[in-house]
Structure formats: structure tokens, C-alpha cells
Chain A
């Protein structure tokens, strides 16, 4: 029983946490690709930037959280999401729009986004240094232990408050995005422009507004993803940059340009990572007593933990070879 609880803690909960983060990032990446037709490599550093905005707000108003009973950083997150959305529009106006208006090739846009990423990394390190920070300035992380009503279960399922907030936020974000894309005029225009930009233009759809809305959604979700990840672990300037590859893997696995695909892809990549680094010997050990001939090695993980990053890379290569359109038949990059 304890082995099973260990499996839930290490694989199911961790996978769901990292999968949710990947999903939030990948939805933004996929929306930007759908509307603007380029891979936005600066997305991860937009996450970090948003998270540092949360840190600043949290340090300024540390008493807000305890008064409400939530982590202060989470209370400040909506403000930072709005600010990040504004910054994202600003970045678009300053760096991407001039290129777009000159009808450059998509690869030029990609290079520009690499430039933006380097710029953001430099700015963040300039103001915040390179060390790790905690988003819990004046409050502490609440940890819940759920004991299972079995005699053989001495361990508890462990889940932290930020993790629960992450799952709730993802659910709310996905439902709102679904309603926006399918019920609102602008949301439908976003789908239309992603489907056929030329026809959108001759239909009289205001493509500049659609582009703006795309940055607002992508920027806000990036800020939320970075903040919720940093609440779970610690905030470092390179935290989000390290998950850029898995996020792109998630977007491509799900089918580029497809928000639900990005959601599914996030969880596929997240669970694949945790399943691959899990030591299966733990789970199989009870079998050893039943089957005397079975001799388990100490470590039965597919991939050592420090090589975790190879998993999304492998998934990315595999999907590009065998199913380049992804699960939901997205666009071929």
C-alpha cells in the first residue's frame, strides 16, 4: 500500500503539477503560432518576467495573503498577469510588429523572439540577480497530508496548497478559454484568423485587435504558469527557460495551433517525464515476496532523474517523425 501511495505522490501528483505548467505555457505558444505563425521562443522568459513582477508585488504588500488565507503571491498574481499582458503587447509593438509589417519570413520572427528572450534574461538578472528567491515572503507554504483509511498505509498522500491552486487555476483558465473561443465574437475571430488569415482580412475582421487579444491571453497565462511553478518550487531567473523545450514539445504533441491539444500535450509530456524517472523497483518490490525467483535491481527507472530533459526531447523527435501534425491534427511547422 505504501508503495502505491509513493507512486501517487511521485508520479501522479508531480506529473499533474508539471503537466499543468506545461499546458499553461503550451496554450500560449500554440495560440501565438496559430495567429502570428511563428514559434515564440521568448515565451518562457515572459513567464519568468511575470513571476518577478509577482515577487515585487508580494514584497510590497506581504500582509495581503495572510488576511485572506491564501499565499500572498497568488493574490497578487492577477495584477501581475494584467501587467505581463500589457508588457507582451508592448514587446509585440516594439519588436514583432515592425517585422510583420515588412512581411518577413517566419524564421526572422523566430530569431527576433530569441533576441527578445536574451534581452529579457539580461534585464531580469540585472534587477533581480541570479540567485533563487522564494515567493513566500511573509507566509508559509501549507502542506496537506491525506491519510488513507487502510491499515497497511502508514504514508500519506501529500499535496501542497500551491499545487491545489494550480489545478483550480488551470481548470478555470481552460473553461474560460473554451467559452471565449466558442461563444464570443473576438474568440471566434481568433479561430477564424488561425484557420485562414487571408479570408479573415477580406471578411473585414480587425486583425490587429485579434493579435492584441492573443498577446493578452498568452502573456497572462505565461505569468500565471511561472508564478504557480515558482510557488511549488523556488523562483530562479532560469527556471522557465529550462522548461521551454518541454513546453514546445507539449504544443507540438498536441497539434500546433490547437489549444485543447496543448492542454493534452502538456499532460502527456508531464506524465511521460515523471513515469520515466520513477524507480519502478519500489512498486514491484511486494511482488518479490510472492515470486521468490524474481530478483529486482535497486534502480529500475528508465532514465536517471538528472537526464529528465531528454524525455520531452525524445517525444518531440518521435512526434515530428511519426505524426508531425500532433494528436489533434494541428499545423505542420
Chain B
């Protein structure tokens, strides 16, 4: 059974649809990457899955269970973590407090999970007492991912995790995403840096005008001359 599956969803703000029938599905051990031109509905797809905007038609299932239009806090309880593109850390809270807020819904002792997040992102351990607002862009992204991982989600949704980062940090973030995925977390992410992202993708979805244009493995999409010409800059 697919971890997450969207069946031709139509969604948008108010009555207007930005998505016009998006289909995607990834398995538990996979990384799915959504690429496409600006305004294709990439981030909108992620937000629709996480209940941040209305799905008007179609449905979304998490391991077969219908989760269409559930509110974000319910989805966190169902094992989904979401990392927004911007404003994704509590700037006035320390790194460790940010992680604790990620674990807010947990009533058990999550100390081991803090250690696991620090093992994914060793940079953060030295800065655990520092306000997250004082960190660099790449480190903030790590705090944001760490926060979402604290509930031990089965699915992690990342909205442009490498936006605005230097190439060095970009590769580091992609390495971490692979490590997180190998620990058993399904990942669905939106990326502008399409080539690098498709390299780590098991599945790639090329969206245009709110619809699937190409759906294949990351490798096949990278090698497809059509896709390369239209969407990956040659």
C-alpha cells in the first residue's frame, strides 16, 4: 500500500483551483520530488496534502486511510511532519526548544529523539542553547527539519528545503534528507534545484499548470531529453 497517494486532486484558495487533477504516490521507503516551473502548483500540492488549503475534488490517502481536508494538527497526530519554506523556525526560541515544540504532542520521554536529531544534524548539538534566529540559513533548515522529525513521522513534507542556500549547504541538506529517508521516513519534497533533487529521488513528478506532466523515477526523468529540455534547463 502506498504511503501517501493523491487521486486527481483539485485544490486552491477559496473556490479557485490551482491544482487541476494531481496524481502522485510514494512508498514508505521512497523520496518523492516535485519539480516544475513557477506557478505549476508544487507548493500548493504540498499544502493541499497537509490540510493548509481546501481540496475541492479528488482524495488523499495516507496508507489507505482517507485524510482529505483533515486539519494540520490532526495530520501531525497521524504521523506527518511539514516543513514550510519560510518562517520555519521559532526565531526567539533556542534550538533545543524548537525541537521540543516539534514534540509538543508527545506525552512520553522524547529525549532519545533529541539525540537522534542531533546525530542527523551534528552542527545543531553545539548550538542547542542558541536562539534559532541567530543561525545561518542552512542551520535553520536543519532546525526546521529536526523539529518536524521529533514526532517520528512516517512522512516528511519539505517545501523547497534548499531555497536560498549556497551550493555547499545545498548538497549537505540533500545528504541529510537521504540519511533521514534511509532511517525509514518517507519524504515528499518540492524543489527548485531540480537536477540535484532528482538525483536523490526515487520518484519524480513534473508539474505544469496544476497537472502532472511527467511521472517517473528520478533517474529516468533526468535522462529524458524532453524533460531536460523543457524543465531542467537543457
Contacts of A189 in B (CB 8 A): 101, 104
Return the contact of B82 from the options A188, A191, A202, A205 (Cβ within 8 A).
Answer: A202
Q: Is the CB of A192 within 8 A of B93?
A: yes
Q: Is the CB of A199 within 8 A of B90?
A: yes
Contacts of A199 in B (CB 8 A): 84, 87-90
Q: Is the CB of A198 within 8 A of B104?
A: no
Q: Is the CB of B101 within 8 A of A203?
A: yes
Return the contact of B90 from the options A185, A196, A201, A204 (Cβ within 8 A).
Answer: A196
Give complex CA distance A204, B81 in Å. Answer: 9
Return the contact of B104 from the options A191, A195, A203 (Cβ within 8 A).
Answer: A203
In the complex, whether B102 has a CB less than 8 A from a CB of chain A is yes
In the complex, whether B57 has a CB less than 8 A from a CB of chain A is no
In the complex, whether B77 has a CB less than 8 A from a CB of chain A is yes
Query: What bracket does the count of chain B residues touching chain A fall in?
Result: 20 to 34
Quote the shortest CB–CB distance from B50 to chain A (angstroms).
7
Give complex CA distance A198, B90 in Å. Answer: 10
A185, A195, A201, A202: most-surrounded residue (chain B CB, <10 A):
A202
Quote the shortest CB–CB distance from A257 to chain B (angstroms).
10
Query: What bracket does the count of chain A residues touching chain B fall in?
Result: 10 to 19
Q: Is the CB of A203 within 8 A of B102?
A: yes
Q: Is the CB of A196 within 8 A of B91?
A: yes
Give complex CA distance A209, B232 in Å. Answer: 47
Q: Is the CB of A185 within 8 A of B104?
A: yes
In the complex, whether B151 has a CB less than 8 A from a CB of chain A is yes
In the complex, whether A239 has a CB less than 8 A from a CB of chain B is no
In the complex, whether A206 has a CB less than 8 A from a CB of chain B is yes
Quote the shortest CB–CB distance from A127 to chain B (angstroms).
41
- Given known contacts A196-B87, A199-B88, is B73 in contact with A204 (CB within 8 Å)? yes
In the complex, whether B29 has a CB less than 8 A from a CB of chain A is no
Give complex CA distance A196, B87 in Å. Answer: 8
A185, A191, A192, A204: most-surrounded residue (chain B CB, <10 A):
A204
Q: Is the CB of A204 within 8 A of B84?
A: no
Q: Is the CB of B84 within 8 A of A200?
A: no
Q: Scoring B residues 101 to 119 as 1 if CB is less than 8 Å from chain A, else 0, what string do you get? A: 1101100000000000000
- Given known contacts A199-B89, A201-B72, is B50 in contact with A192 (CB within 8 Å)? no
Give complex CA distance A200, B147 in Å. Answer: 11
Q: Is the CB of A205 within 8 A of B72?
A: no
- B binding-site residues for A, Cβ under 8 Å: 50, 52, 72-73, 76-77, 82, 84, 87-93, 97, 100-102, 104-105, 147-148, 151
Q: Which 10 A-B pairs have the closest CB atoms?
A: A204-B76, A204-B105, A195-B90, A192-B101, A205-B104, A192-B90, A195-B92, A202-B72, A202-B82, A204-B73
A-B contact pairs, 8 of them (CB 8 A): A185-B100, A192-B101, A200-B101, A201-B72, A203-B76, A203-B148, A204-B76, A204-B105
